[in-house]
Amino acid sequence: MIAAVASIAFPVGSMADGRSMETGRVTSQPIGHYEFCREFASECKPVKGSDAAPKVTDYGWDVVREINQAVNFSVMPKTDMEIFGKEEVWSYPDVAGDCEDYVLLKRHMLIERGFSAADALITVVRKPDGEGHAVLTLRTSEGDFVLDNLVDEIRSWRDTPYRYLKRQASNNSGRWVTIENGSDVLVGAVK
């Protein structure tokens, strides 16, 4: 692992004070992710790593911001229907993609730069207008942070306007878990 991340003990109280998502029971995997896993099985397997979220260094945060902005800038937003002629196709974007495609690419790039797959988790949310959306959650010792194709800023999950439904399990990229403290995270609107 590169110097971008260094593992330390999970800070006491970060889950209790809401900085980190509380995950619950195993739940259904999104159909698009299921199909993605059939094609890219190595992306959807049990993950080795610590239960403790890592401390991210200043350099690590620079890497996270760089990747988030680069992907947001380089991928043109288009729906699966516009690209593939059908809904729920999760794939790495070449030129265009929708929210989960941005997330897949950001996750892949973070892992290539030394972040653990256990800490870069695809997350399904509901936008204030009721539309489904996918973001990337980065688990850190300071709490959970969101990389989103709708904004370039990296935000604490609590500072987003979304209702959090489920995300990948930190110990298995092909398994999904509920987010227990995510239904009260309705703050404001985006675009």
Shortest CA distance to 146 belongs to which of 168, 116, 173, 120?
120
Model confidence pLDDT, tens digit, residues 1-30? 333 443 323 333 344 467 999 999 999 999
Cα–Cα distance between 103 and 165 in angstroms, integer? 16
Q: What is the CATH topology of the domain spanning 5-14+30-179? A: C8orf32 fold (3.10.620)
Stretch 85-97: mean pLDDT, rounded? 96
Model confidence pLDDT, tens digit, residues 170-181? 999 999 999 998
Stretch 144-159: mean pLDDT, rounded? 97
In sequence order, the β-bridge partners of residue 135 are: 123
What band does 159 get if pLDDT is binned at 50, 70 and 90? very high
In this prediction the pTM is: 0.86
Model confidence pLDDT, tens digit, residues 103-151? 999 999 999 999 999 999 999 999 999 999 999 999 999 999 999 999 9
Contact yes or no for 147/138 (Cβ under 8 A): yes
Could you tell me the CA-to-CA distances from 164 to 24, 52, 66, 83, 186 in Å, in that order? Answer: 12, 21, 25, 27, 9
